[in-house]
C-alpha cells in the first residue's frame, strides 16, 4: 500500500558545500543555506553527499561542518549524513559520529574502489558495517548511484540486507535515473522509504508509493518538489530544468544556480578534480533558468 503523507520521508536537499577563497568550507554560508532550505519546507538536508562533494571533504571538515550546523540551531534530526567510503572502518567511524550528533539517518554507498565486486562481497561489507553500528539509533538508507560508484545495489542485495538487519534498513535512494529499477524497488520494498534522485521521475514514483527525494534541485527550487508529496501534478518547468542540469557537470551547475539565485559568486567554487563552469556554460544554465522561471506555470 502507498504510504500516507505523514509517513513520507519528505524532500531532503542534497546540500551543496560552499568554499572560501582559500578552499576551506564556508561554514557561515553553509549554515545560512541550510536554514533557508528548512524554512522553504525541506524536511531535512543531506550533508556530505554527492552534490555536497562529500568524497572531497576530509573527515575533520565534515565533523566541523556538522558541529557548526548544530550550533547554528539546526535540529539534529534534520541532518542526514552522507557516508561515501570504501574503508569499512572509516564508514563505521562516520556513522558513529553521526549518531553521537543526534542524526537519525545515514545515506551509505557501497565500497566502490575495486570495480566488479561481487554482490556477495558487497553484502558482506554492508553486514559488517551494520553489525558494527547496531548499538546506535541510526537508520540506514542504501545509496544506489551506479553511474558514479560503478557499484550497484541491486534489489536482491537490498532484500538480503533487510533479511539480516530488518530494523536498520530504512530504505533506498535510487539515483540511477532508471525508471524500471525505481518501479521494482517501489514494488518489492513498499514498506521502506524509496527515495528518488532523478527529479524528473519523482512525481510518478510518489504516485506508486515513493517516500520522497534526496535532491540536488532542492538546493534552489524545493517549491517544485514539495507539492509532489501530496500528489500534485509536476510543475511543467521541472523536467526541462533537470534536462538542462544534466547537460553539464551537475554539481558545479547546481552551485552556479544557487549562486545566481542568491547573487553570490562564491557558490561557484568547487574542489578539484571538479572545475567551475566555463563562462559559456554558466551563462547557458542561468539563462535557461531565467527563461523557465519567467514563464508562469499554467
What's the start-to-end Cα distance of the chain, in Å? 32
Catalytic residue among 105, 112, 143, 282: 143
Active site residue 255: no
Q: Which three three-digit cell numbers place residue 275?
A: 572545475
* DSSP H or E segment with residue 126: helix 119-132
The b-or-e profile of 32-48 (16+ CB within 10 A means b, else e) is ebbbbbbeeebbbbbbb
Residue with cell 522509504: 193
Catalytic residue among 62, 105, 112, 173: 173
Q: Please indicate if the annotation marks 83 as binding a ligand.
A: no
Q: Which three three-digit cell numbers place residue 120?
A: 556477495
Strand partners, 10: 212
3-state secondary structure (DSSP) of residue 169: strand
Alpha carbons 70 and 75: distance in angstroms, whole number: 7
Alpha carbons 129 and 262: distance in angstroms, whole number: 39
Q: Please indicate if the annotation marks 214 as binding a ligand.
A: yes
* DSSP H or E segment with residue 46: strand 44-47
Active site residue 104: no
Q: Which of 205, 241, 245, 207 is nearest to 224 (CA)?
A: 241
**What residues form the annotated binding site for pyruvate?**
51, 214
* Catalytic positions: 143, 173
**What residues form the annotated binding site?**
51, 214
Amino acid at each position: 500500500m502507498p504510504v500516507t503523507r505523514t509517513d513520507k520521508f519528505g524532500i531532503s536537499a542534497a546540500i551543496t558545500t560552499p568554499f572560501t577563497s582559500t578552499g576551506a568550507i564556508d561554514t557561515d554560508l553553509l549554515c545560512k543555506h541550510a536554514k533557508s532550505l528548512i524554512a522553504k519546507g525541506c524536511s531535512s538536508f543531506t550533508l556530505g553527499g554527492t552534490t555536497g562533494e562529500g568524497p572531497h571533504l576530509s573527515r575533520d571538515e565534515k565533523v566541523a561542518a556538522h558541529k557548526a550546523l548544530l550550533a547554528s540551531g539546526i535540529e539534529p534530526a534534520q541532518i542526514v549524513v552522507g557516508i561515501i567510503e570504501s574503508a569499512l572502518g572509516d564508514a563505521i567511524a562516520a556513522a558513529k559520529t553521526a549518531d553521537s550528533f543526534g542524526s537519525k539517518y545515514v545515506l551509505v554507498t557501497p565500497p566502490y574502489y575495486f570495480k566488479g565486486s561481487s554482490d556477495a562481497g558487497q553484502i558482506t561489507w554492508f553486514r559488517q558495517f551494520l553489525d558494527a553500528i547496531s548499538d546506535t539509533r541510526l537508520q540506514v538508507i542504501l545509496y544506489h548511484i551506479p553511474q558514479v560508484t560503478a557499484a550497484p545495489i541491486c534489489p536482491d542485495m537490498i532484500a538480503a540486507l533487510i533479511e539480516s538487519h530488518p530494523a536498520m534498513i530504512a530504505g533506498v535512494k535510487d539515483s540511477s535515473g532508471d525508471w524500471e529499477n525505481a518501479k521494482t524497488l517501489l514494488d518489492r520494498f513498499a514498506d521502506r522509504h524509496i527515495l528518488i534522485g532523478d527529479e524528473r521521475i519523482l512525481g510518478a514514483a510518489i504516485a506508486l508509493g515513493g517516500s520522497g527525494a534526496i535532491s540536488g534541485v532542492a538546493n534552489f527550487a524545493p517549491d517544485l518538489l514539495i507539492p509532489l508529496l501530496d500528489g500534485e501534478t509536476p510543475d511543467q518547468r521541472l523536467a526541462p530544468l533537470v534536462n538542462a542540469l544534466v547537460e553539464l557537470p551537475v554539481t558545479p551547475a547546481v552551485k552556479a544556480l544557487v549562486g545566481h539565485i542568491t547573487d553570490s559568486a562564491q557558490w561557484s567554487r568547487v574542489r578539484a578534480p571538479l572545475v567551475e563552469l566555463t563562462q559559456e556554460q554558466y551563462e547557458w544554465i542561468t539563462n535557461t533558468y531565467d527563461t523557465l522561471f519567467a514563464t508562469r506555470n499554467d
